[in-house]
């Protein structure tokens, strides 16, 4: 394994992007100044003014054309994503495929932004008038995106925004800024108006400048502390925020254990555990804990990890050396509290070994807060209601997974878990592009997912005649 020599992501005027595995330079982007960001928003307002009355057919054509350009550029884009943030080439190809679907579904949704008509005279003496409810674009959307899905999460903001008739000024993570830059190049190639979709670059200062510009809506994906800071800075601007999760997966005695093992590994080790809805806490019923753990360890041992550019690699790197060191510190502190390290726990630069820890106390660092790393932390339980209460006592509420075929238990988990989504016989990281996605408590505000995001990014107008 080659230890990355990744430099700090920002110099004085530019972001130098290095491959997290090899340390090789991947690219460089200029950091946008506050005045450049304000100018981009101003241009976007002009572009949106001319676009707001565009037809659904025009919007769908733009989105489909961009999806087609991504398809033509798919392998180049996948290599770029893998190189800049360390996910495997197979994972990167899947992200590129999903991004195309997100844009095409957004184009389809543009043709179904339906209003409704309500009669005002529904009570005695009510006016004999009709209220027509329509949905209009909000204006300019500021989109702030994370490093872990640098293409598809941007498309989840861009697609519905354009479908609703808005303009977008996006600021990607400084840890993975290149895919977003490439996406704008492809949009121009697809015939998009130059200022309808723009990219600004930088870190926290650039995000702050963006939200303090006269945008009309902020769509943010990232950590809760950063999200709260931007929400405060944005004043009365509407905010949609996906702020992460500390998601559980429950496995009950009647579950298909082999499928649950495969799902646990697939949902926790995807992009080296750096997904907001990954399995952060694995709750095993005591009746199957021993058998499940044996199956799990055998499957973990078969995971190929290391160089993300190789076709056979199942799991790549974490985003940088600081991230690997932070995960290692959490593992060490958790073991110091009495947990048992079953496998892994070590890292070579940015390559963190797939790790399983059992007997984890709920206050232990690996599960007390969201951990972005390939750590499976096992909790055991007997009473499902107590396990549910433990999860609900936490500060996050994104999604949860439950493996059981017991209908009564399915009803209990679905009803009682305080989360945005419950996945039955699936992991919490299961997501479909057109289905609502988001959480409660510290996990965020509002929902993504093409259909609901289209409404979130629209203003309701009532005309009574």
Q: Answer whether residue 376 shows pLDDT above 70.
A: yes
For the segment 344-367, the average pLDDT, to the nearest whole number, is 97
User: Are 297 and 343 contacting, i.e. CB atoms less than 8 angstroms apart?
Assistant: yes
For the segment 224-245, the average pLDDT, to the nearest whole number, is 95
Q: Which is it for strands 238-242 and 217-221: parallel, antiparallel or unpaired?
A: parallel
Helix (H) or strand (E) holding 328, with range, is helix 321-336
Report which of 104, 134, 147 is spatially closest to residue 433, judged by C-alpha positions.
104
| pLDDT at residue 235, rounded to an integer | 93
309: CB partners within 8 A, 6+ apart: 21, 79, 82, 83, 89
Whole-structure pTM value:
0.95
| pLDDT at residue 112, rounded to an integer | 87
Q: Answer whether residue 12 shows pLDDT above 90.
A: no
| pLDDT at residue 2, rounded to an integer | 33
For the segment 189-203, the average pLDDT, to the nearest whole number, is 98
Q: Answer whether residue 3 shows pLDDT above 70.
A: no
Q: For the chain, what is the mean pLDDT? A: 95
3-state class of 203 per DSSP? coil
101: CB partners within 8 A, 6+ apart: 67, 433
Instruction: Sort residue 198 into left (φ over 0), alpha (ψ -120 to 50) or beta.
Output: beta
Torsion of CA 279, 149, 441, 105, to 10 degrees: -110
Catalytic sites, residue numbers: 242, 276
DSSP 215-266: -SEEEEES-HHHHHHHHHHTTTSEEEEE-----EEEE-TTS-HHHHHHHHHH
Q: What is the pLDDT of residues 65-116, one digit of tens each?
A: 999 999 999 999 999 999 999 999 999 999 999 999 999 999 999 998 888 9
Task: Count the helix, strand and coil residues of the chain and give each as a percent rounded to the nearest 5.
Answer: 40, 20, 40
Q: What is the pLDDT of residues 127-178, one digit of tens each?
A: 999 999 999 999 999 999 999 999 999 999 999 999 999 999 999 999 999 9
For the chain, give the longest Cα–Cα distance. 79
Q: Provide the pLDDT confidence category of residue 8 given band limits of 50, 70 and 90.
A: very low
Q: Answer whether residue 4 shows pLDDT above 50.
A: no
Q: Which is it for strands 347-348 and 351-352: parallel, antiparallel or unpaired?
A: antiparallel
Q: What is the pLDDT of residues 111-127, one digit of tens each?
A: 988 889 999 999 999 99
Q: Answer whether residue 1 shows pLDDT above 50.
A: no
Q: Provide the pLDDT confidence category of residue 307 given band limits of 50, 70 and 90.
A: very high
> Domains, the chain, ranges and CATH?
14-243+443-464 (3.40.605.10), 248-432 (3.40.309.10)
DSSP 345-389: --EETTEEPPEEEES--TTSHHHHS---SSEEEEEEES-HHHHHH
């Amino acid at each position: 394994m080659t230890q990355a020599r990744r430099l700090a992501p920002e110099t004085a005027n530019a972001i130098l992007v290095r491959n997290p595995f090899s340390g090789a330079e991947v690219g460089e982007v200029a950091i946008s100044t506050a005045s450049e960001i304000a100018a981009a928003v101003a241009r976007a307002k002009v572009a949106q003014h001319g676009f707001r009355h565009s037809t659904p057919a025009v919007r769908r054509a733009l989105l489909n054309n961009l999806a087609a350009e991504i398809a033509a550029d798919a392998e180049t884009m996948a290599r770029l994503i893998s190189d800049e943030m360390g996910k495997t080439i197979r994972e990167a190809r899947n992200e590129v495929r999903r991004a195309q679907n997100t844009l095409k579904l957004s184009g389809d949704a543009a043709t179904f932004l339906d209003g409704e008509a309500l009669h005002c005279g529904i009570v005695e003496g009510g006016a004999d008038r009709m209220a027509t409810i329509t949905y209009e674009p909000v204006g300019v959307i500021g989109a702030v995106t994370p490093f872990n899905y640098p293409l598809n999460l941007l498309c989840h903001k861009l697609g519905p925004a354009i479908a609703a008739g808005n303009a977008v000024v996006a600021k990607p993570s400084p840890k993975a800024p290149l895919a977003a830059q490439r996406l704008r190049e492809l949009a121009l190639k697809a015939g998009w108006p130059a200022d309808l979709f723009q990219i600004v670059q930088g870190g926290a200062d650039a995000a702050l400048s963006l939200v303090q510009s006269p945008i009309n809506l902020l769509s943010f994906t990232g950590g809760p502390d950063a999200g709260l800071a931007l929400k405060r800075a944005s004043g009365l601007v509407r905010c949609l925020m996906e702020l992460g999760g500390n998601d559980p997966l429950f496995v009950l005695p009647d579950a298909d254990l082999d499928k649950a093992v495969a799902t646990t590994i697939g949902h926790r080790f995807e992009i080296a555990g750096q997904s907001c809805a990954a399995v952060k806490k694995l709750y095993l019923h005591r009746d199957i804990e021993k058998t499940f753990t044996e199956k799990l360890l055998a499957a973990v041992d078969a995971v190929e990890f290391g160089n993300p550019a190789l076709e056979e690699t199942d799991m790549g790197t974490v985003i940088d050396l600081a991230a690997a060191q932070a995960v290692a510190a959490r593992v060490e502190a958790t073991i110091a509290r009495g947990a048992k390290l079953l496998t892994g726990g070590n890292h070579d630069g940015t390559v963190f070994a797939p790790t399983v820890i059992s007997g984890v106390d709920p206050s232990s660092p690996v599960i007390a807060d969201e951990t972005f790393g390939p750590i499976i932390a096992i909790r055991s339980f007997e009473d499902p209601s107590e396990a549910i209460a433990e999860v609900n006592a936490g500060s996050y509420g994104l999604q949860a997974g439950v493996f059981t075929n017991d209908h009564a238990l399915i009803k209990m988990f679905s009803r009682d878990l305080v989360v945005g989504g419950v996945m039955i016989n699936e992991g919490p990281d299961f997501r479909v592009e057109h289905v609502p996605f988001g959480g409660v408590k510290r996990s965020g505000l509002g929902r993504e997912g093409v259909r609901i995001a289209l409404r979130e990014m629209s203003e309701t107008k009532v005309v009574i005649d």
